[in-house]
Amino acid sequence: MGYLALVISLLISVALAAASYFGLKTDYQPAILAFAILTACTLILSFAFCVCLEVSRRRAQELKSESEKLLALLEHGSSAMLLLNANLEAEYINHRHPTLEKRRLEKSQNSIDMKQWEEHVGPETRLRIQEAISDRKIWRGELRFGDSEQADYLSTTISPIFDDDGKLKRIVVCCEDISKHKAIADRLFIREHYNILTGLPNRQFALRSLNTVIEKSALRSNEFILLHIDLDRIRYINESLGHHVVDKIFIETAERLRRCVRDEHILAHLGADEFLIILDKSSCHDEASILAESLLDRCRAPFYIEQHEVTISASIGLSQYPTDGNDGNTLMRRAEAAMFDAKSQGGDRFSFYDESMSSQADRRLEMENQLRHAIARDEFQLHYQPVISLRNNQLVGVEVLLRWQNDELGNPGPDEFIQVAEHSGQIIAIGNWVLEQACQQIVAWSRAGLPALSLAVNISSKQFIDGDILASVSRALNQSGLPAAQLELEITEGLLLNDTPAIRDIFKELKTLGVHLSLDDFGTGYASLSYLKRYPFDTLKIDRSFVHDIDGCEDSITLTNAIIAMAHSFGMRVIAEGVENLNQRRILRERHCDMVQGFLYSPALPAMEFVNWANRYSEMQHSKHI
């Protein structure tokens, strides 16, 4: 266009020169005048043309620069851009954007295969997009490309553009690849809602699924059954063989449970050794019982892990919707209550929920809450039962027993609250308190004139495994000033199931401190005779179940005699518990039992009452009444 203007300008210049040459009357030479006019016009027009060209060049350069910036923004921005006409034909595509390159679009043409995109847009999504365009609204959503295993996700915005007549003119599509963010979100979802170890839904996801099943069942008036599964003896296996073995047991158990349930059932791993199964509406009471028995059989089968043959059992509780509850929390709580009922009967069985279990579960929960504050509220009281030497009838020691004064719960007995304390882990703090208070009491009695008594304190296996028993004993001895030789720790046979080098090392270090060790309730548990040789026990206690009929049963006499002889052969002293009459004492003395305790002498007494009893007993001895 600029060059055409230059040609026209030159032609005008020639015309002016010709006119001046032929038609202008002047004193100058016509030819010279024409040439001068032509030259002047040409120079002026050339200068004007050069100025116009420079302006145009700069403008074009600015436009190119702006275009390059715009293109860079489009190609390197977070979103890929597509400009479509009303027929969904592409008018512009920034092909270089990674999002579109990943979609393998044709770069040689300014086109896009919309059918490829429509294949990945579901009918409902297409309908919502069409409705948004018809309503002149912007649609925002996600589009997925690829299969479920290797899917790419695009966060997409579709904006319609209309002309003045209200007709659709163009459509702007903005896409952003969010596949990585989606993958991270999926991993977070899995971590939040699934058990990482077994891959099963966790408690949170199970409760959500349970509430969904409840909503559907409520609409259709359906019933279904919930199973709460808890593996027995896992704590002992964990303490003896370690976490890695227990983890493999959980993984194998999850696989066994998977093989027992149908696809329509929901199986979840609630955490630790607890699993949950939600049966569908077609499962009746009898079918649930058959499934529970099948699950118990699967759990009984041996586990072969790292050259170990491990056997466990399970306790299963069942609750039914809506008979046992109308919401997920209630159903789970009542299935758990039924599970505890099965466990209280020895485990390896299942129980259906009934109303009596609810009160037991509520009491257990309330007891656990109350125990947390028992020490701070000064609700615990120590009672002391005397230990008498059969050789000279001297008071030689005491066994400390814990009592809990709690009016709200009706002063629960040790058989009830100790089990709850162990299950909740509070036994460690309670045991440390008992140890420290009892040591201080013995020292106080010694300073008050009582003989140097040995102190027997029951130690929970949980204090050995989860607590630092060495530090607890050392602290109690140091704070009280009690000689270590006067302290005797009573160990139950259950701890010996975890026959590990670590536990044996703890026993050796306790012996190094000078503390005595006693094996409590011998013969009622699982300990083998080899443990008497393997562990450095000083005392063996015969359980009261062998003593109560010793004066009327020859078998009990024979068994008690064998226990005493065996203990003495290992260099151990023997204490018989539960002695209630003189005949029992006579039989034990004749069998060379070393010491006794029981109601024949005194029940366990509070500290002040025990001092009064000890003084009276000493006076009776001096009077030769004993």
pLDDT tens per residue across span 411-421? 999 988 988 88
More confident residue, 372 or 155: 372
- Strand 224-232 to 313-321 pairing: antiparallel
Given a cut of 80, is residue 36 above it in pLDDT?
Answer: no
Question: CB neighbours (10 Å) of residue 250?
Answer: 20
The set of residues, in sequence order, having a beta carbon less than 8 Å from that of 258 and lying 6+ positions away, is: 267
pLDDT digits over 93-147, tens only?
A: 776 676 666 655 444 444 555 555 666 676 777 788 888 888 888 888 887 776 6
The topology (CATH level 3) of 383-402+434-622 is TIM Barrel (3.20.20)
- What integer best gives the mean pLDDT of the chain? 82
- The fourth-level CATH superfamily of domain 194-353 is Reverse transcriptase/Diguanylate cyclase domain (3.30.70.270)
- Type of residue at 267: L
pLDDT digits over 448-466, tens only?
A: 989 999 999 999 878 877 7
> What stretches of 484-581 show up as alpha helix (H) in DSSP?
493-496, 501-513, 530-534, 544-547, 554-569
Q: Average of pLDDT values for 10-38?
A: 60
Q: What is the pLDDT of residue 515?
A: 95
Look at residues 510, 595, 580, 509 and name the one whose alpha carbon lies nearest to residue 550: 580
Q: Average of pLDDT values for 12-29?
A: 59
78, 35 in Cβ contact below 8 A?
no
Q: Is the pTM of this model over 0.95?
A: no
Given a cut of 80, is residue 318 above it in pLDDT?
Answer: yes
Given a cut of 90, is residue 221 above it in pLDDT?
Answer: no
Q: How confident is the model at residue 20 (pLDDT cuts 50, 70, 90)?
A: low
pLDDT digits over 279-315, tens only?
A: 877 678 888 999 999 999 999 999 988 888 888 899 9
Look at residues 433, 428, 436 and name the one whose alpha carbon lies nearest to residue 469: 428
| Least confident window among 46-50, 104-108, 593-597 | 104-108
Q: Average of pLDDT values for 86-95?
A: 76
* Per-domain boundaries in the chain: 2-62, 80-183, 194-353, 383-402+434-622
Q: What is the pLDDT of residue 108?
A: 41
Angle at 383 between CA 379 and CA 387, to 5 degrees: 165
pLDDT > 70: percent of the chain: 81
The C-alpha atoms of residue 379 and residue 433 are separated, in whole angstroms, by 12
Q: What is the pLDDT of residue 501?
A: 74
pLDDT digits over 523-549, tens only?
A: 655 445 666 777 889 999 988 888 888
pLDDT digits over 334-350, tens only?
A: 898 899 889 878 889 99
Q: Average of pLDDT values for 559-570?
A: 90
Query: DSSP letters of 73-142?
Result: HHHHSSSEEEEEETTS-EEEE-TTSHHHHHTT--SSSS---HHHHHTTS-HHHHHHHHHHHHTT--EEEE
Given a cut of 70, is residue 19 above it in pLDDT?
Answer: no
Query: DSSP letters of 328-365?
Result: HHHHHHHHHHHHHHHHHTTSSEEEE--HHHHHHHHHHH
At 516 the three-state DSSP class reads strand
- Type of residue at 160: P
- The fourth-level CATH superfamily of domain 80-183 is PAS domain (3.30.450.20)
